[in-house]
Chain A
C-alpha cells in the first residue's frame, strides 16, 4: 500500500511540476510585454537572453508617454461601454429568440432556425460591407450605436439559449401557466433564472469577442474620441512601429480592463467555458 501511495504522490508531484511549467510558459508573453514596456528602445531590440530585465533602469515613463499621446480614459470608456451594450443586447435578444425557437410553435420555425444556423456558417467578413453601408446611411459612424450594431443579435447566442431552454422540463412552465403567468412572466421568472449559466456563458463570450474586435471599430470609428482600445492600439502600431517599449506599454494598458474583468468573474469564466464547450 505504501508503494502505491508513494507512486500516487510522485505522479501528483510530476503533474504539478508540468502544470507549473505550462503556467510559466503561458505567462512568458505577458511578462515579456511588461518588461519590454520598462526598457529603453535599444534594450528592447537586443536579442541577448541576458536582457530579460531592464539593465538601464526601469522606464516607467514609457507608460506616461503613451498615456499622454492617446487618451486612454476615452479608449477605456468607449471599450467598456461597447462591451456592456453588446452583452446586454446579445443576451436579451438571444434569450427571447432562444425561447421562441425552443418552446413556441409557429409556421416556418424550422426554416427560420436554419437561417440562423446558416448565419453561423458564413464568415463575418461577408457582412462587413453591408453593415458598414447601413451604419453609414443611418448617420451612425463614430457613435456608440455604430460600434454595438453588429452585436445587437447573435446567431451563436440564439443557438446556445435554444439548446439550454429545450433542455428544461416543460412541467415547470406548465405549472407557471396554471398559476396564471403570461408568456413574458414565464420567460422572465421561470426560463431566465434556469438558463442563467447559458446566459452567463454567452455574456462572457460576447464580452471577450467585443474586446478583441478590431476590424469593426477600425471601420466605423474614424475619430479618436469614439474609437476602442483595439483600434487605438492598431493606430499606435503605425505611430510607434519601431518604438517597442511604447508599443508594449500601450498593450499593457490595453489588456488591463480584461484582466480586471477576468479577476472579478473568474468563476463565471470557467463555468461558462464548461457550459458551452467553447473556447475564448
Chain B
C-alpha cells in the first residue's frame, strides 16, 4: 500500500501543471510496464473465471475406438445418431467418440506411444466410459486393471444380461484376483462390425475402470444392437 501511495504522490507531483494529454503521456512513459502487466493479469483473470464457471467440464459419454480408421469419431453419423437417441444436451456436458487411438496392449513396444499414454490419462481421470477394440488387445489391457470388473458387486446389476458375452482376463494384480475376471463384452455381431466393419475378426467392448456412467455404457450397447 505504501508503494502505491508513494507512486500516486510521485505521479501527482510529476504531472503538476500538465494538461490531461500530457499527464497520460507522462504516466505511460514511466509506468507502461506495470500498466501492461495489470491489464494482462485482469484479462487472464476474466478468461480464467469464465472457463472455470461456464465451461462444460464433464462428459455424458466418452468412448474410444482403438486401432480403427477414423470413421466413428466426433461429428460422425454414429455419434450424431447416439446423441440424438439419448437426448444429451451438449451445452451442459460433452460427448466424445475418439477414433484416433492406436496401441497394442499385448506388447511393451505396442504401448510405448503417445496414444496409449493419452488413453491411460483419460481412464485415470475417470473420463473414459467405454473402449472398443480387438479381443486379444482388450484381454491384455484388462489384465492391467484399467478396465472395470463387470462381475464385481457394484457393477453386476448393469452388465449381468451380457453374461454370456463376457470376455475374461487374469489380472496382473494377484491381490485382486488370481482367477480370470470379466473385462469385456463381445460385440462382434453389433452394428460396429456389420455396418461399420471396424475390425476383421473380433470386436469387444470394455468399460473404463473409473467410469461414472455405467448406465450410458448399457445404453450404448443397446444402441449398437447388442442384446
Contacts and interface: CB of A to CB of B under 8 A. Distances in A.
Given A132-B125, A145-B51, A235-B100, A137 B57 contact: yes
A19 to B, nearest CB: 35
A120 interface: no
A139 B47 contact: no
Interface residues of B, number: 30
Interface residues of A, number: 26
Contacts of B70: 235, 238-239
A139 B74 CA distance: 19
Contacts, number: 69
A134 to B, nearest CB: 10
B202 interface: no
Interface stretch (B13-21, B78-86, B114-122, B213-221): B114-122
Interface of B: 33, 47-48, 51-57, 68-70, 74, 94, 96, 98-100, 102, 114-115, 117-118, 120-122, 124-125, 127
B98 A129 contact: no
A125 B125 CA distance: 15
A125 B54 CA distance: 29
Given A129-B125, A224-B74, A241-B69, A136 B51 contact: no
Contact of B121 (A132, A214, A238): A132
The SS class assigned to the A binding surface is helix
A260 B189 CA distance: 51
Contacts of B100: 218, 234-235, 238
A112 interface: no
Contact of A215 (B56, B94, B118, B125): B118
A227 to B, nearest CB: 10
Given A224-B74, A238-B102, A139 B125 contact: no
